[in-house]
Amino acid sequence: MAKPIHEVECTIISNEPVNGEYRLLVLNAPSKILDCEPGQFFHLLCPVSDTLQPYLRRPMSIYGYYPDKGELHFLYKVTGEGTSAIATLKAGDNFNVLGPLGRGFDILPNWQNLLLVARGVGLATLAPLALEARRLNRKLTAICSARSDQFLLSLDYFRELGATVIPLTDEAGTSSVENMHSIIEGLIADEGIDAMYTCGSNRILKLLQTVGKEHNIPGQIALEQQMACGIGMCQCCVRAFNRNGAIVNERVCREGPVFDLQEAIGC
């Protein structure tokens, strides 16, 4: 049974930069919107000013949800008019959000050793998965990739949650697909991997699909797509998937954003 969707006014607790590209938005949120799943997202109503006038809401994956504290967190990169407008919000401002939306990640009972692989801001989408893995007492390894150490996100957060963290960067020459493949094969040979999770990157998607097929390891991917309504009405986010040998079209906002790893088609 689908959980209810709410449109609410939250209050900004903080909206601060975490490095040269990303900001952390922390909201004081009512408990009714904090019954979330890792991988779900919210549709955010961007503020409008004389200089910034975003027309549509912006979908944003959940970075953290904390019912005990009444907080909802988003980690985002300022890239366009919508996120530029969100970056102007200050502590005490009101902020309209719609959600939680979409289908989140699964952690099945027999999935004990989990592998998380992501690059850049994709780590934000997978952060709640680490929180859930700790709650379920699962072993988690996080392979985190970025251009340089400066843009590696959430490493300390993953470590605090008990994950084994493997940082890779372009700058250090460690982030190639070949090296990542070698690392994953080593993890499989050592303790085994029961499930794999990723977000966004096509090259990581293709790598994990190859590994998954070879070793019969299931996995899931959270996909990003342009959206208008965020609730499945407008069909703006329809994307093709390979299911049982046939191409099917599904809405990322409604049937996703989390999908079976092997069914996803890179774009």
**Residue 175 labelled as part of a binding site:** no
**Residue 210 labelled as part of a binding site:** no
Measured between its terminal Cα atoms, the distance across the chain in Å is 31
Find the length of the chain: 267
Rg (CA), the chain: 18
Instruction: Output the CA torsion 31→35→41→46 (10° steps).
Output: -10
Supply 158's token pair.
């993953």
Supply 253's token pair.
């906002």
**Beta-bridge partners for 25:** 15, 74
**Residue 234 labelled as part of a binding site:** yes
- Read off the DSSP letter of residue 262: G
**Residue 60 labelled as part of a binding site:** yes
**Residue 253 labelled as part of a binding site:** yes
State how beta strands 195-199 and 113-119 pair: parallel
**Residue 229 labelled as part of a binding site:** yes
**Residue 237 labelled as part of a binding site:** yes
User: What amino acid occupies position 18?
Assistant: V
**Residue 58 labelled as part of a binding site:** yes
Cα 52 from Cα 47, distance rounded (Å): 8
Binding annotation for [2Fe-2S] cluster: 229, 234, 237, 253
Binding annotation: 58-61, 82-83, 229, 234, 237, 253
Binding annotation for FAD: 58-61, 82-83
